[in-house]
Structure 1
Amino acid sequence: MSNKNLLVELFVEELPPKALKKLGEAFSGVLADSLRAQGLATAEAAVTAYASPRRLAVHVTGVAAQAADKAVQQKLMPVAVGLDASGNATPALLKKLAALGADASVVPGLKRQSDGKADVLMLDSVVKGATLAEGLQKALDESLAKLPIPKVMGYQLQDGWSTVNFVRPAHKLIALHGADVVPIATLGLTAGRETLGHRFEAKTPVVSVRDADSYAAQLRDEGAVIASFAERRADIVAQLQAAAAKAGLKPIDDEALLDEVTALVERPNVLTGQFEDAFLAVPQECLILTMKANQKYFPLLDAAGKLTSKFLIVSNISPADASAVVGGNERVVRPRLADAKFFFDQDRKKTLQDRVGGLAKVVYHNKLGTQGERIERVKWIAATLAYELGIDVPRVVEAATLSKADLLTDMVGEFPELQGIMGGYYARHDGLGDVVANAIEDHYKPRFAGDELPRNDVGVVVALADKLETLVGLFGIGQLPTGDKDPFALRRHALGVIRMLVERDLKIDLARALQVGEEAWLSADGQLEVRPLLATTQANLADFIYDRLAGNLREQGYSAQEVDAVVSQRPQRLGDVAKRLAAVRAFAALPEAAALAAANKRVGNILKKVEGALPTTVDAKLFKEPAEQALGEAIAATAPKADAAFASGDYTASLQALAALRAPVDAFFDGVMVNAEDAALRNNRLALLARLHAAMNRVADLSKLSA
């Protein structure tokens, strides 16, 4: 049975650039997986994905012309149903066999096997392996059905009557097994070996692919197309770096833009353009965003990271004289930059303070009121937190008041991504100073994973207030994230709260922070729909935040046991979490750790079974056994040391002090019956264990370290 390399290409009209990378990966991945599942390709088969603006393709090595036959065993029916008293086949069995293509001649060879309820008849047979034509047709159909298509369009086939639905109209299909065409069809197309090259640069408009292995080289040489997405992307990166280095500059780093541009060109050619220096008076964020979002250019920065008047163009053509291409792009970008300058100049004619009143007309959420009402809540939370943390309250209130005012500017109206950033520029223009301006700019931070925190304490408090208001409000109306859906970015907001409390070591309990957020809603004017649900919001929100905290700690490299031991105790000062984790790790390295963790788990299980309130008073006069006397004395000697270390924040010393309890704890469980018949004796021993449990679990739940 011959194994050859396989190529499949679907040639279409221009695919959506932001989706091309995923489309290419899905097309190749699903098709190859289907071939493997059918036995036409092995698990070791190398799969190469191709994706360009007008094609999706895949190359798979070592594909068989026909899959090997496969032995299968099929369950027929219970013996009592399939055979009569004489052991002959019943009509029901004969009908079942006929449906499977067998007859009564196989009855003597049927196996009997128990399925756990009764003996059943089993038929051994051989299923003929699929041919490549059959298997590839199935694989292609499955691949197209599972493509993550952003939006499907319907179009008519050449017959003028039939309509098909796909991401873009398809025009050609290639399926080559080695040099042989595989007879498959889809979307009104029959497989062949022809495809089209670059619209303008191809040596020959139609490329006839000789065999599966010559595809990429022929497209490059004859069709002027780099079919591989990864190869084309790498080529763009190399050209960008070379062109920037020639000018002594560096291109802006933007992975999403790089992917999008890679999806727009078939054979990239990087050129350098320039605009007038006068536009550099506009904030560079505005210029960078308009060049990236509208023109797909790569702005060039100097060594200090400051925007220059030069930019890079990734062209899809390579003329001998590129001046016309460069000139055309320069003419196109000027009106965009002029618009940005106009917006910036117009916005500065009105102060941020003058815009605050207009927020009362901007809807924040139909159940949560306007942006004006939202600002009042953010101000209340920020002022309260600032007072309790000893941070400049007037500056905090001023920054919170103006934090959303830039939503009403022309620049943010055109580029919503600049909210906060433009507020900072306009605050400086209004003479408010860097502290307030930076706080306004930073209050959305952290905007994404790994983003920096606000630069100053005022910004931290306003950012914390903004996120608490959002979390409490949306939890209050039941808008919780579900699965992978989080339309209001509540996971990111929760992580922002965690990072600020942890990394800035803010001296405020999480419960108090959530309480302040809730109080802002309770004191808000108007009958907002969030109020009836606030009773359960705080507990649910705390669970959500601790879940995010646990996930974040595991991502940082802490073990699941270490994280569970600390987070299960719901520490209120999140700034202490790192110290608690370090203490747990140091404790786990002690030779006494395993035994104490196991004992702690045992104590916890005993105490859980106690009905009613736990006894709290330990009476040394009731100690009967030497082991309980020794444990009581050990706790009395150890607990104060552990508590003192805990109170001073030395969590490592607090846990290590517990090592002295191992021997008396082991002896207690070896020689003392906790559930004694005498009620007074039993309660005294339970109270002793409760005291032990409390002493052992102040820093972390040590039972989580037990295997």
Structure 2
Amino acid sequence: MVKRLAHEHRSGTPTMLFSAAALQVRACVRTVWRGTGHGVRWSPCGRVASQRLSWSVPRRRHSGPLCTQSASATPPSSGETLRAPGSTENVRASDGMIAESAAPAGTGTRTTAKTNVETRPRGAVGANGTGALTFQEAILRLQIYWAERGCLLWRPYNAEVGAGTMNPATFLRALGPEPWNVAYEEPSVRPDDSRYGENPNRIQQHTQFQVILKPAPPNSQELLLGSYAALGIDIDAHDIRFVEDNWESPALGAWGLGYEVWMDGCEITQYTYFQQVGGFSLDPIALEITYGMERILMTVQGKSHFKDILYAPGITYGEVFLQNEIEMSRYNLEEADVERQRHLFDLSEAEARELLQKRLPIPAYHYVLRTSHTFNILDARGAVGVAERAAYFRRMRSLAREVAALWLERRAELCFPLGQQPAIVAASAAPTSHANEAVHTEQVQRDAADTVAAPGRQTSGEGATLLIEIGTEELPPADLDAAVEQLHEHLLQLLHSSRLLPDAGRVKVHVRATPRRHAILVEGVAHKQPDQWTQIRGPPSRVAIDAQTGELTAVGQAFAQRHQIRNWEAETERKATKQGEYIFLNRTIQGQRALPLLHERLVDSVLAKIQFRRSMRWNESGVLYSRPVRWLLAMLDDQVIPVAFGGVVSAPVTWGLRASGIAPKLPVSHAQLYDRVLERANIVAEVSAREQSILRQANALALQQDGVIYDPERTMLHEVARLIESPQVLLGSFDEAYLALPSPVLITVMQKHQRYFPIEASGSMSTSTEQDSNDLRLRNAFVIVANGRLRNADLVRRGNEAVIQARFADAKFFYEADLKRPLASFVPKLEGLIFEERLGSMLDKTRRIEALVPFVVDALAQRHYRHHEDAGVPAPVPSPCDSPVDTASPRMRAQSPTPDWEQVRQVATEAAALCKADLATQLVVEFTSLAGIMGEHYARKQGYRDDVARALFEIVLPRSAGDQIPRTPAGVALALSDRMDSLVGLFGIGLAPKANSDPFGLRRAALGVVQILCRGAFDGVELSALAEAAAAVYAKQHMSIREETLADLLDFMDKRFEQWLLDPDSSLPALDVARGADQSQASATGLHVSAVRAVLQCHRRRPARAYRVLQQLYPLMAEERFRDAVTCYLRPARLVRGQPDLDGSVDPALFQDQVEVALWEALRRGGFDADQPPFTNDDVLGMVQALRTLRPSVDAFLDGVMVMVDEPALRRNRLNLCARIARIPASVLDMEQLQGWF
């Protein structure tokens, strides 16, 4: 039938081909469907389900082409040949190919369908005979491919949707227990992607091909790669990668984990395991596969622009759709009336709610989709701010959840009819590419029983090698690190607790980690536990043995029987205890063999303990992991440890690179051969080795361009090395004309979007104040890191170059559009960007920053910073983020001239009026990480003075804990004003961060404030003064901030400040544990905490002063003079504790001993007879010197007289002497916190 259709296709009229051919294919498939005799049975239950949704409806387990079959079934032998679907060739069955099996269709009923995973390309030659696969033929091929694998062919939705996900065939059918396999094309409308048809890779209406597989099959990645082959894509010639994509749809209350599927750097498919839809957790899990058809066809046909795609013989995509793109782009970006769209949103929402009340979930959902599309138009018009976006999402999410709940209720009333029809054809085996997938627990138990029962092997005295490898679908880089760390930790804990590491000094642990595997090799594991001698206390001797006859009493006999004592005299002894004489049984416990012990404990003690920041389910095992577990390798030397986890059972195999679609099986005969097996398969298993390989190859290629790779923090290297298993580095290039774009734009596109290494010209860093702060001189080249040995490296290079050209074209479109308007003209547009509904728009926030800036500038002008010249106290340590010429670093500030604060006020005020303007520019809307960077760039381009432009960038600093801080006073004023406005306003309306939620980034904002003050050495600035000033600005906008709210905010900032000081990022000097103290890491940490709290007790609200005191304190704490000072303080301080009525007044007339007179004279000489000490409240050295000078007199006083005498006046006078000494450090630090350390 398919061949006949292809023949008719070739002879048909071009403009009619798509619809006619598609209808015939659908008719053909439906005929086959009906021919099975098992259509959907809509039979009522005989009762109506209650309004409370119950999951007690019985569910039939089903098997199909997308589900793993019974492990007892016999898979095809390696020599058996299977006919590939749609092909006349015989393809040899392998571990990665699924045999024909009986299967349910998309409705859950069974039909016989072919399910081979064919990864050999069918060829890109189209049925039209022109030599190119056309767009419509690609749709047909995917329809045929998935229909042959049991999918129902669905229709596109009859209204605008942003993605195939929103079609009811996905959103509604993913819910509930019913099986559902479906495929359909979906025209997807995204107004904010409007580009007037000019961008080669982005259009406002593109075509997705959507596949839903529910439940998710274990061989889904292989099925996807097989579909690429069906499109004529030679998988072995391309670099196909699964890259982390944590998908979320706030409007639908849905989320899932999965991947972007890249081909030569171009995202062509989204691949997501849905976890929740409409606020409901899914069971079973549904897998969504979404093809980007335009991008795929551009690759297959070798086109550089979507409009050149051959849509049908003799007609291009542009000829069919370009006018639609141009006109709809104009509507979406220019003509759509914002107020009418808001009204349409409200009307659609109201209609949906009314339909929900009438219990009509499908029509109600239709109007949910209307709200979504209307929101997308508003977003494209730039009329939705950050907080307003959250409010819209809440409204849409609420509707979607109510629709989902009602849909489930309605399906429950129908008894979930899909998948209830009994099977009439026995299912055959369906092996996946991982032969040990989904083995029944009973088989594992049988294997384990055999292992435990088998006699122990004769082993040498050498320790065994233990290998644990967890094979998964590609893990995200951060999760890979977490998995390896936890696997290492939990496995060693298990081995220690199980007494399988008798000689810890000889144990060697090796970590292996790639995206698809994380493994631990432990050499030196004992083959069995050592025997353990123990004593078991029995009954008292007088009770167990008859004193007259010496025979065992009934109690003694019971003890002997319970412990199976055969020779009482040899196995027991009498031993005296504090409670009297008792019987003790001496028993040697035989150590267990390692293999059965590991079988028993490995899963619960190691595998099940591994956790991730976000985990997912993927099958009925219920296991939570970062991504699906696909194989398990657990061996002790050459013996498999039989364990099951995540639906798979351990086997002596691992799997190679998935270069050609089906990963080869790699047998592992012995744990010690594991590394050799991977090496022969071209897998670089050590992360550090991959990093070195990438760096070596990348630097060599960059050198060819007279440059160096740009990755100053090595963050790209860290990530890329965890995305691949076998690095191959290529050099790509792009049109030199794109170098006219600002370098931060190019770097952002290359690094964040594509994971490329930009190439910076040698010695290109500009230090001129006339250049952008972030300006670099780049080469028109970049480094690509591909995975595995490439059969056609040039093809992969060209693909990546085409992707980056398209992305740069997109950025150029935004950039040029922005430059056509004055920067100030974007300020009014901020009124359409809502900061927070109750706090107004971004324009309102800008006006508040303008009002707050003068006060902040005045506060900064009152700073007090003194550089101690004493050689014993080093100058404050500059931030590692400060450049060598950074005049804002603490050391340089101490020597720099005082700024002209009136000029600073003028600059800051001018910059404040523009400080958020770039948020309304098209480039920042698209690349939000460029906020501030583009504000500076546009300001310089349009002739603003340098210090104003610089301040527009510095308002966003610091962007993270280790980022640079503002270097100019005006930049500091803007950055502080912006953050304090957010903190005070959001706390004021009750949006303080929660334990696991901080949507407005207030923790980061609070940390930014204290970092700026500390590293800028602004001693005179108090947090409470900043908060009160911001509250006063809000009061002018008729919003009152309560004092209790400000107190809560300041407590919050205090905690963030303390946490930062305890973090290495604070860059405090190295802290040496005091002499004589425990030199352990725990002691150093404890002293660090005590020192920070001692200083914050006095300077909590002045972060810069506290920071500088700590900078002086830490080096001194390791010196003898500091120990003398602490001792001098602690002796009198202990005496005055609990004496709150002491005022420090001393009457010399009451002195009775010369040591009292001497101490008083020492206090007077030091200036401590007055109320204020002779040093400032940040002078650590002055405080230490004073106490050290006083110590001889203090020691003589406390050794020579009794302070706590009976006579009240004398006792009080002596206690006041002690109180004066105890108060000496009080203005600098709370030395009480340091007791116990010195």
TM-score between both structures, scaled by the size of structure 1: 0.83
Q: 1:31 to 1:564 in 2, by over 3 A?
A: closer
Q: 1:354 to 1:289 in 2, by over 3 A?
A: same
Q: Which residue of 1 aligns with 2:1071?
A: 558
Is the partner of 1:153 in helix, strand or coil? coil
Query: Contact between 1:8 and 1:175, CA under 8 Å: does it hold in 2?
Result: yes
- Over the matched positions of the two proteins, sequence identity in percent amounts to 31
Is the partner of 2:967 in helix, strand or coil? coil
Q: 1:74 to 1:465 in 2, by over 3 A?
A: farther
Can you list the C-alpha shifts for 1:618-652, whole angstroms capped at 9, x where unaligned?
34334343332332222222117997862598653
What is the CA distance between 1:508 and its match in structure 2? 1.4
Tell me the distance in 1 between the aligned counterparts of 2:950 and 2:1179: 36
1:628 to 1125, 1150, 1156: 1156
1:20 lines up with 2:480 in the alignment: yes
Can you list the C-alpha shifts for 1:367-403, whole angstroms capped at 9, x where unaligned?
7665445444444443202124343223223333433
1:639 to 1159, 1167, 1177: 1167
Query: Contact between 1:367 and 1:530, CA under 8 Å: does it hold in 2?
Result: no
Q: Which residue of 1 aligns with 2:1192?
A: 663
Q: 1:106 to 1:334 in 2, by over 3 A?
A: farther
1:311 lines up with 2:782 in the alignment: yes
What is the CA distance between 1:524 and its match in structure 2? 5.3
Q: CA RMSD in A?
A: 4.3
Tell me the distance in 1 between the aligned counterparts of 2:748 and 2:534: 60
Tell me the distance in 2 between the aligned counterparts of 1:255 and 1:528: 47
Can you list the C-alpha shifts for 1:84-119, whole angstroms capped at 9, x where unaligned?
99995679x969986xx7589989949889899x99
Tell me the distance in 2 between the aligned counterparts of 1:684 and 1:645: 23
Q: Which residue of 1 aligns with 2:817?
A: 346
What is the CA distance between 1:144 and its match in structure 2? 2.5
Query: Contact between 2:924 and 2:930, CA under 8 Å: does it hold in 1?
Result: yes
Name the amino acid aligned to 1:466. D
Q: Which residue of 2 aligns with 1:298?
A: 757
Q: Which residue of 1 aligns with 2:696?
A: 238
1:151 to 615, 619, 643: 615
1:250 to 695, 703, 708: 708
2:721 to 256, 259, 262: 262
Query: Contact between 1:566 and 1:580, CA under 8 Å: does it hold in 2?
Result: yes
Query: Contact between 1:6 and 1:176, CA under 8 Å: does it hold in 2?
Result: yes
2:511 to 49, 59, 70: 49
Name the amino acid aligned to 2:707. L
Counterparts of residues 291-690 of structure 1 (less than 5 Å): 291-303=750-762, 304=764, 305-319=776-790, 321-365=792-836, 370-390=841-861, 391=901, 392-473=904-985, 477=990, 479=992, 492-511=1004-1023, 513-517=1025-1029, 519-520=1031-1032, 523=1035, 525-527=1037-1039, 532-539=1044-1051, 541-542=1053-1054, 544-546=1056-1058, 548-549=1060-1061, 555-558=1068-1071, 560=1087, 563=1092, 566-570=1095-1099, 575-576=1104-1105, 580=1109, 594=1123, 596-612=1125-1141, 614-639=1142-1167, 646-647=1175-1176, 652-653=1181-1182, 655-690=1184-1219
Can you list the C-alpha shifts for 1:156-208, whole angstroms capped at 9, x where unaligned?
7xxxxx88765545444433433344444444444433333223389993333
Q: Which residue of 1 aligns with 2:530?
A: 68
Tell me the distance in 1 between the aligned counterparts of 2:952 and 2:982: 17
Can you list the C-alpha shifts for 1:557-605, whole angstroms capped at 9, x where unaligned?
1353665554443276655557645765787688776455334223333
Tell me the distance in 1 between the aligned counterparts of 2:501 and 2:918: 58
Tell me the distance in 1 between the aligned counterparts of 2:786 and 2:1120: 66
Tell me the distance in 1 between the aligned counterparts of 2:1178 and 2:473: 65
Tell me the distance in 2 between the aligned counterparts of 1:352 and 1:144: 56
Bigger radius of gyration among the two = 2
1:225 lines up with 2:688 in the alignment: no
Name the amino acid aligned to 1:538. L
Tell me the distance in 2 between the aligned counterparts of 1:255 and 1:89: 76
1:39 to 494, 499, 508: 499
What is the CA distance between 1:513 and its match in structure 2? 4.0
Query: Contact between 2:860 and 2:1018, CA under 8 Å: does it hold in 1?
Result: yes
- Aligned pair count reads 694
Name the amino acid aligned to 1:479. A
Q: Which moved more, 1:273-282 or 1:614-623?
A: 614-623
Tell me the distance in 1 between the aligned counterparts of 2:748 and 2:581: 72
Tell me the distance in 1 between the aligned counterparts of 2:855 and 2:935: 23
Tell me the distance in 1 between the aligned counterparts of 2:677 and 2:590: 37
What is the CA distance between 1:315 and its match in structure 2? 1.4
What is the CA distance between 1:336 and its match in structure 2? 1.0
Q: Which residue of 2 aligns with 1:139?
A: 602
Is the partner of 2:1223 in helix, strand or coil? helix
What is the CA distance between 1:698 and its match in structure 2? 4.0
Q: Which residue of 1 aligns with 2:362?
A: none
Query: Contact between 1:14 and 1:53, CA under 8 Å: does it hold in 2?
Result: yes
Tell me the distance in 2 between the aligned counterparts of 1:647 and 1:608: 25
Query: Contact between 1:638 and 1:658, CA under 8 Å: does it hold in 2?
Result: no
Tell me the distance in 2 between the aligned counterparts of 1:250 and 1:269: 18
Query: Contact between 2:1095 and 2:1228, CA under 8 Å: does it hold in 1?
Result: yes
Query: Contact between 1:250 and 1:302, CA under 8 Å: does it hold in 2?
Result: yes
What is the CA distance between 1:443 and its match in structure 2? 1.9
What is the CA distance between 1:497 and its match in structure 2? 3.1
Name the amino acid aligned to 2:1069. Q
Tell me the distance in 2 between the aligned counterparts of 1:501 and 1:173: 52
Q: Which moved more, 1:266-275 or 1:413-422?
A: 413-422
More helix by share: 1
Can you list the C-alpha shifts for 1:258-295, whole angstroms capped at 9, x where unaligned?
23322332221111111111212222212211122222
Can you list the C-alpha shifts for 1:337-378, whole angstroms capped at 9, x where unaligned?
111111222233444434444445544456766544544444
Name the amino acid aligned to 2:700. A
Q: 1:104 to 1:359 in 2, by over 3 A?
A: farther
Name the amino acid aligned to 1:557. A
Q: Which moved more, 1:507-516 or 1:442-451?
A: 507-516
Counterparts of residues 169-184 of structure 1 (less than 5 Å): 169-184=628-643
Is the partner of 1:264 in helix, strand or coil? coil
Query: Contact between 2:619 and 2:647, CA under 8 Å: does it hold in 1?
Result: no
What is the CA distance between 1:306 and its match in structure 2? 1.9
Q: 1:63 to 1:620 in 2, by over 3 A?
A: closer
Is the partner of 1:506 in helix, strand or coil? coil
TM-score between both structures, scaled by the size of structure 2: 0.50
Q: 1:504 to 1:48 in 2, by over 3 A?
A: same
Tell me the distance in 1 between the aligned counterparts of 2:510 and 2:849: 52
Tell me the distance in 1 between the aligned counterparts of 2:825 and 2:1189: 67
Tell me the distance in 2 between the aligned counterparts of 1:531 and 1:648: 28
Name the amino acid aligned to 2:523. T
What is the CA distance between 1:139 and its match in structure 2? 1.8
Tell me the distance in 1 between the aligned counterparts of 2:739 and 2:1017: 39
Q: Which residue of 1 aligns with 2:1221?
A: 692
Query: Contact between 1:473 and 1:521, CA under 8 Å: does it hold in 2?
Result: no
1:283 lines up with 2:774 in the alignment: no
Query: Contact between 1:368 and 1:530, CA under 8 Å: does it hold in 2?
Result: no
Q: 1:79 to 1:690 in 2, by over 3 A?
A: same
Can you list the C-alpha shifts for 1:660-696, whole angstroms capped at 9, x where unaligned?
4233323332344445555544444444444333345
Q: 1:198 to 1:548 in 2, by over 3 A?
A: closer
